Structures are given as structure tokens and as C-alpha cells.
Structure 1
Amino acid sequence: MKVKILRILLDRWHAVAAWTWDAQDETCGICRMAFDGCCPDCKFPGDDCPLIWGACNHAFHLHCILKWVNSQTPQPHCPMCRREWQFKA
């Protein structure tokens, strides 16, 4: 019994990929926009609008939490759980 082997030469290959953030929620607790989208200050999702986690494990868009932290005095708190805000190390 003979086995024939088929060989194919590829001229082009187009890869498609998808990504999602690994956050507990689907939306930012500040702006309520989806994490797979972007914050109101950005035009496109991705590297320019990353997620930032706090020590309490709540995630927010970078721009949203920076505005929140800068608006709180004297010590900022997490907008979700009200614990003292610290960026996750």
C-alpha cells in the first residue's frame, strides 16, 4: 500500500488574533466604558489606553484612575471599595 504525500507551497499567510484584558470586571468602574474598548480620552484601544490594577485588585483605565487619584485629597481611595489607593506592584 502506497501513501501519497501532498505538499503545498504557501504564497501568503494572513494571521488574525484577538486579545482581551484579564480583569474581573468588563467595564471601568470610573467611566463605565468596556475594557476591550478605551476610555473617553482615547480614540483607539490598546497600548495607549492600558488597564491599571490597584493593590485591592480593582482595574481601571490608566487615564481614568490618574484623573481620579489627582482629584482626591489628601489620600486617594479606590473608587470601588474605598480602600486607600495604591498601584499594584
Structure 2
Amino acid sequence: MRMKVKRWNAIAMWFWVANDENCGICRMAFNGCCPDCKVPGDDCPLVWGQCSHFFHMHCIPKWLNSQQVQQHCPMCQQQWKCKE
């Protein structure tokens, strides 16, 4: 017996694999987006630091630019360096 599919609808979900649910800077959910973005997803990725903390890609530069002298992680106060 053969069947012909006339219409097919798909639904997909994604989420960031992170130990925390919210960004430590903007307090928005990682599965959502930062205040600068309108749509979650690839346009609002996460950035990991060498200290193992992570933030929205748009939040961490704002935080670092607000620092007067040294650029520290907002969570642990270690010098911020992106994980490679």
C-alpha cells in the first residue's frame, strides 16, 4: 500500500546548552534573546570566557566597555578573556 503525502508541517525547538538559565548581565533567558535583539537564535549567541562564565554576545562588550580600568568577568571578577 502506498500513500501520497499532500502536506507536511514541521516544528522545531532549540536551546543553548548552558549551566545557567539567565544571562548574568541583562538577566534575560539564554533561550530568549538579549534586550538588543528582537528574535532569539543565531543572531544572539552566547560567548564563553576562560573562567567558564558565559553571556549574550551583545551583553559582554557593553559590560567590558563600562569598566573603568580593567575588564573583569561580572560573575567572578577574573580578567575577561574569551574562550577559544
Give your verdict on TM over 0.5: yes
Query: How many equivalent pairs are there?
Result: 84
Give structure 1 regions of 4+ aligned residues with deviation exceeding 4 angstroms.
none
The answer to whether residue 38 in structure 2 is matched with residue 38 in structure 1 is: no
Question: Is 1:62 equivalent to 2:57 in the alignment?
Answer: yes
What CA deviation, in whole Å up to 9, does each residue of 1:41-89 have, x standing for no partner?
1111112211111111111011110101122243311101111100010
Unaligned runs of 5+ in 1: 1-5
Scaled by the length of structure 1, the TM-score of the pair is 0.86
Structure with the greater alpha carbon radius of gyration: 1
C-alpha separation in 2, matches of 1:66 and 1:48: 15
Of residues 12, 15, 21 in structure 1, which corresponds to 2:10? 15
TM-score, length of structure 2 as denominator length: 0.90
Structure 1 distance, partners of 2:80, 2:68, is 12
